[in-house]
Amino acid sequence: MYKDLENKVAVITGGSKGIGNAIAERFGQEGMSVVINYNSDEKGAQEAADNVKAQGGQAVIVKADISTEEGNQALLDAAIEHFGKLDVWVNNAGMEIKAPLTEMTLKDWNKVISIDETGVFLGSRTAVKYFTENDHQGNIINMSSVHQQIPWPTFASYAAAKGGVKLFTETIAMEYANKNIRVNSIGPGAINTPINAKKFADKAQYEKTVSLIPMDRIGKPEEVAAGAAWLASDQSSYVTGITLFIDGGMTLYPGFKNGEG
């Protein structure tokens, strides 16, 4: 637990399930107040809010489309209205659509980019405006992926968006480094979340994924949430512009693990 997180206020986009849900719960354990954003899964968001409260934190849920300016503004407004301020903004909402390049429609490309990349831009801009206009210490955490670094055939839109998130994070981290605002990313590997449920239900695909992980196991959402809590806390006070990979070693070129090459 991080003492300085107590009574801090966070916005988490895509908080109704998976990693976002786990971050909300962890922030609740830290005694934080959380605005939990959702798009369609109101029930999941409500459960996440109940969990935060059960852990000792406060929570409200807000339906909003984070690929729009109004959607992000609504999240900031909720933080101010219910909790009086904003300290931490987690751009977590994400999606992926599988298709070989020649079958990737412009519509699907735009959908992925609008959530995974434009959403991160808009969320960050909303938070940074608030921090700078109020002379407030600020913290932004962007959910990237191992695929900001590892090419991922049939997921070109997702990999392009996450590669964009990497340089966006580094660039705005530098832009605001001397203004008391830290900006970092987390790069999860294969984590046990709804985005992967179908894939992991297939034994062969599950085993193939595990074979890409030096630690030989899929990660847990709480293990990603632990990284988010550290990045949000003052224990990482000298850290900005990094991507914290939480991936069981997936980014370590596991194809070489027996000395191949």
Which residues are known catalytic residues? 158
Strands 181-188 and 9-12: unpaired
Rounded to whole angstroms, the Cα distance separating 150 from 147 reads 5
What is the number of the residue whose Cβ is closest to ligand BGC? 145
Smallest gap from Cβ 70 to ligand BGC, in A, equals: 27
- Nearer CB in complex with ligand BGC: 30/116: 116
Furthest CA-CA distance within the chain: 58
- Nearer CB in complex with ligand BGC: 127/191: 191
Interface with ligand BGC (CB under 6 A): 96, 145-147, 189-190, 195-196, 209
Nearest 5°: phi and psi at 61?
A: -110, 145
Contact 169, 183 (CB under 8 A): yes
- Nearer CB in complex with ligand BGC: 146/246: 146
Smallest gap from Cβ 133 to ligand BGC, in A, equals: 34
Smallest gap from Cβ 250 to ligand BGC, in A, equals: 6
Please return the burial class of 144, using the count of CB atoms within 10 Å of its CB with bins 0-12, 13-18 and 19+: buried
Smallest gap from Cβ 39 to ligand BGC, in A, equals: 17
- Nearer CB in complex with ligand BGC: 146/165: 146
Smallest gap from Cβ 151 to ligand BGC, in A, equals: 11
Nearest Cα to Cα of residue 33 among 61, 59, 3, 72: 59
Smallest gap from Cβ 157 to ligand BGC, in A, equals: 12
Taking the chain, what is the end-to-end CA distance rounded to the nearest angstrom?
43
- Nearer CB in complex with ligand BGC: 58/196: 196
Please return the burial class of 220, using the count of CB atoms within 10 Å of its CB with bins 0-12, 13-18 and 19+: middle
- Nearer CB in complex with ligand BGC: 181/246: 246
CA torsion 112-118-120-122 (nearest 10°) is -150
